[in-house]
Chain A
Amino acid sequence: MEYSNNLPPEIIEIVLLKLPVKSLLRFKTVCTSWNTIISDPVFTRIHLENSNNSPNNNDNLFITEKGDTERGFSLFKLEGGKLHADRVSENPSGNMVILCECNGVLLLRDSSGGVNNTSNYVLWNPSTRRVRCFNDPYGSTVNYGLCYDPITDDFKVVVMKRSSYSIFSCNSDSWTEVEESRSYDSVGWSGVFADGALYWLFCFEMARFDPETDELEALRKPEQLGDYDEFSLGRLRGRLCLYCNNTGDDERGIRIWIKEKNSNDWEAFVAIENVPTDPIAVWIYVDSFRIGIVCVFQLSRQRRLLVT
């Protein structure tokens, strides 16, 4: 049956904003006006913001699969407290490892090793399958980060060295090096993009990089954390979270803090007592109504803790 009561453009746009990227790219073929709506950068930005703010946004995990014959990436979705692997079959060629993620875009590095001490990097958007390649002329860097500047609509790659950092801007297609007055101990972890900024963890310190000003500043830890408590950074509902996994015999547990949105203060979020054994990895996720924590105790065994 033909449908005669045509929907006005503003309602079509509301519906299109709720579609996944794959459907949107296909529906560019529907007609020129749909192509125009879907290709509009403002539409793209609202679509991204909606996805980031959706209660179903689990901060999906990407994991590099190691295989002898082929390498691919799997997107793990946490739904209803279970891990679902959604294999992305087409990935950029080469021996790629995932360094970090920002707004659904992954920063990959060719791990096969360059002959002249330069690394090949790839920015890859698995939702649109767009790829952008570039070189790091500095080589042998340890800490990476990927962030997005909404003012200039620019993705920036930041590589940290001991007393300086370099920024690659996708818009200008060039690197800028910035000297840093204090030095940080690189430990090889990638930055976490949350709340519009990029956060790094160095041995027992943290730093925040602002993609709008390109400035790096030290970030305080929650007061309750001791000087030598080990902790990790993650993202929870788009906000920076910090979790500490106590391994002491008398107080084994996981404590989580969330950084306040517009200040550098930490809010104690949850503390879980009596975690049975030491998890080797902890993932925190949220679905519509509860917050869950997946603790991996052994690779073959995962246990879920639910906090409603």
Chain B
Amino acid sequence: MAAETGTPTTLTLKSNDDELFSVAESAAILSVTIRNMVEDGCAGGVIPLDNVDGKTLASVITYMNGISAIPADEEKKKSYRDKFLSDKDFETLADMVLAANYLNMSCLMDAVSAKIAQVMEKKSVGWVRRKFGIENDYTPEEEAAVKEEHKWTFEGVETDDDN
């Protein structure tokens, strides 16, 4: 392994739409999935990541490089994560949470799922159904009954015309 010679090892990751990315091994092993492949010696050539598209993988690699450049300072890491996720829309966040789950990156998983929750917090039920692609399977009577039980939680909900 190149690590023995002291030179940083670079891995090549391949997205499911066949884009290739080079990333330092030290940053890539933030992903437990990738780390296991490296430890098992399967990282010699190209590492195929069948569940992540190029756009999302590029973003994840930006995060890997950014976060691993920060020394062990949880406060700074947190503010980097906040800033990294601040301009992402719901669709991008949903792709990232799937990628973080597949790549087994707990810190990214935590941050992205918390960001999704923050985006959803004040949204309407209709917004959530649209964004999550969920079909309303209540009868109108059942829906009215569930809504009536928690009527006050519908106060202060944002209007739906934004993201």
Chain B residues contacting A22 (CB-CB under 8 Å) are: 153
Chain B residues contacting A5 (CB-CB under 8 Å) are: 94-95, 98
- A7-B152 Cα distance, complex, nearest whole Å: 28
- A191-B98 Cα distance, complex, nearest whole Å: 45
- A23-B120 Cα distance, complex, nearest whole Å: 8
- A4-B90 Cα distance, complex, nearest whole Å: 12
Closest residue of chain A to B121, judged by CB? A23
Chain A residues contacting B146 (CB-CB under 8 Å) are: 28-29, 35
B side interface size, CB within 8 A: 40
B33 proximal to A (CB < 8 A): no
Judging by beta carbons under 8 Å apart, are B157 and A26 in contact? yes
Judging by beta carbons under 8 Å apart, are A15 and B135 in contact? no
- A26-B133 Cα distance, complex, nearest whole Å: 17
Judging by beta carbons under 8 Å apart, are A3 and B91 in contact? yes
Judging by beta carbons under 8 Å apart, are B91 and A15 in contact? no
Please report whether the interface of chain B is mostly helix, strand, loop or mixed according to DSSP: helix
Chain A residues contacting B97 (CB-CB under 8 Å) are: 7, 11, 14-15
Closest residue of chain B to A20, judged by CB? B121
B101 proximal to A (CB < 8 A): yes
Judging by beta carbons under 8 Å apart, are B113 and A18 in contact? yes
Chain B residues contacting A35 (CB-CB under 8 Å) are: 146
- A18-B90 Cα distance, complex, nearest whole Å: 16
B17 proximal to A (CB < 8 A): no
Judging by beta carbons under 8 Å apart, are B125 and A288 in contact? no
Within 8 A of B (CB), among A5-44: 5-7, 11-12, 14-16, 18-20, 22-23, 25-35
Chain B residues contacting A26 (CB-CB under 8 Å) are: 125, 150, 153-154, 157
B134 proximal to A (CB < 8 A): yes
Chain A residues contacting B78 (CB-CB under 8 Å) are: 288
Chain B residues contacting A18 (CB-CB under 8 Å) are: 113-114, 116-118
Chain B residues contacting A289 (CB-CB under 8 Å) are: 74-75
Residue from the set A6, A15, A22, A29 with the largest chain B CB neighbour count within 10 Å = A29
Chain B residues contacting A11 (CB-CB under 8 Å) are: 97-98, 101, 113
Return the CB mask of B33-67 against A: 1 if under 8 Å, else 0.
00000000000000000000000000000000000
A36 → chain B closest CB, angstroms: 11
Judging by beta carbons under 8 Å apart, are A3 and B113 in contact? no
Task: Show 12 A/B contacts (Cβ-Cβ < 8 Å), sorted by A.
Answer: A3-B130, A6-B132, A12-B132, A14-B97, A16-B117, A18-B118, A23-B120, A28-B146, A29-B138, A29-B143, A30-B132, A31-B135
Give the top 4 A-B pairs by smallest Cβ distance, nearest first: A18-B117, A26-B153, A25-B150, A25-B153
Q: Give me the interface of A with B, judged by CB distance under 8 Å.
A: 1-7, 11-12, 14-16, 18-20, 22-23, 25-35, 90, 129, 288-289
Q: Give me the interface of B with A, judged by CB distance under 8 Å.
A: 74-75, 78, 90-91, 94-95, 97-98, 101, 109, 113-114, 116-118, 120-122, 125, 128-138, 142-143, 146-147, 150, 152-154, 157
